Structure 1
Amino acid sequence: MEIRHLKLIKAIVEEGSITKAIDKLHLTQSALSHQLKEAEYQLGTQIFLRQNKKLILTKAGEKLYETANDVLAKLSSTQQEIKQMILGEFGTIRISTECYSSYHWLPSVLKQFHLLYPNVDLQIIMEATHYPLQKLQENIIDIAITSDPIQEDSIKYLELFQDEMLMVVSTNHAWANKKYVVAEDFATEHLLIHSLPLETVTVHQFLLAPAKVTPKKITPLPLTEASIEMVKADMGIMAMAKWAIQPYLKDNSLKTIKIGKNGLKRKHFIAIMNNKIYPNYFNHFIEFLQTEIHQQWTI
Structure 2
Amino acid sequence: MEIRHLRLIKAIVEEGSITKAIDKLYLTQSALSHQLKEAEYQLGTKIFLRNHKKLVLTKAGEKLYQTANEILAKLSDTEKEIKQLIFGEIGEIRISTECYSSYHWLPSVLKQFHLLYPNIELQIVMEATHYPLQKLQENVIDIAITSDPVKDENIKYLELFQDEMLMVVSENHHWVDKKFVVAEDFVNEHLLIHSLPIETVTVHQFLLAPANIKPKKITALPLTEASIEMVKADMGIMAMAKWALQPYLKNNSIKAIKIGKNGLKRKHYIAIMNNKTYPEYFNHFISFLQTEINLQWNI
Structure-to-structure mapping, 1:211-290, within 5 angstroms: 211-290=211-290
Deviations 1:221-264 (A, max 9, x none): 22222322333333332211111111122233333222222221
Corresponding position of 1:197: 197
Structure-to-structure mapping, 1:2-21, within 5 angstroms: 2-21=2-21
Corresponding position of 1:66: 66
Structure-to-structure mapping, 1:1-299, within 5 angstroms: 1-299=1-299
- The residue type equivalent to 1:111 in the other structure is K
Give the 3 Å change call, closer, same or farther, for CA 162–27 of structure 1 in structure 2. Answer: same
Give the 3 Å change call, closer, same or farther, for CA 67–181 of structure 1 in structure 2. Answer: same
Give the 3 Å change call, closer, same or farther, for CA 210–29 of structure 1 in structure 2. Answer: same
Give structure 1 stretches of 5+ with no counterpart. Answer: none
Deviations 1:47-93 (A, max 9, x none): 33343443333333222221111111111111122223333333433
Q: Distance in 2 between matches of 1:82 and 1:125?
A: 30
- The residue type equivalent to 1:40 in the other structure is E
Secondary structure of the structure 1 residue equivalent to 2:163: strand
Deviation of 1:99 after TM superposition, in Å, equals 1.8
Secondary structure of the structure 1 residue equivalent to 2:210: helix
- The residue type equivalent to 2:266 in the other structure is R
Give the 3 Å change call, closer, same or farther, for CA 47–235 of structure 1 in structure 2. Answer: closer
Give the 3 Å change call, closer, same or farther, for CA 25–228 of structure 1 in structure 2. Answer: closer
Deviation of 1:6 after TM superposition, in Å, equals 1.4
Deviation of 1:151 after TM superposition, in Å, equals 3.4
Secondary structure of the structure 2 residue equivalent to 1:130: coil
Give structure 2 stretches of 5+ with no counterpart. Answer: none
Q: Distance in 2 between matches of 1:131 and 1:76?
A: 36
TM-score when scaled to structure 2? Answer: 0.88
Deviation of 1:206 after TM superposition, in Å, equals 0.7
Secondary structure of the structure 2 residue equivalent to 1:211: coil
Give the 3 Å change call, closer, same or farther, for CA 202–58 of structure 1 in structure 2. Answer: same
Could you list the structure 1 runs, at least 4 aligned residues long, displaced by more than 6 angstroms after superposition: none
Secondary structure of the structure 2 residue equivalent to 1:94: strand
Deviation of 1:8 after TM superposition, in Å, equals 1.9
Deviation of 1:153 after TM superposition, in Å, equals 4.3
How much is the aligned-residue C-alpha RMSD, in angstroms? Answer: 2.4
Q: Distance in 2 between matches of 1:154 and 1:213?
A: 34
Secondary structure of the structure 2 residue equivalent to 1:188: coil
Q: Distance in 2 between matches of 1:215 and 1:27?
A: 67
Deviation of 1:112 after TM superposition, in Å, equals 0.9
Deviations 1:199-225 (A, max 9, x none): 111111111111111122222222222
Secondary structure of the structure 1 residue equivalent to 2:209: helix
TM-score when scaled to structure 1? Answer: 0.88
Figure out how many residues of one structure are paired with residues of the other and give that number.
Answer: 299
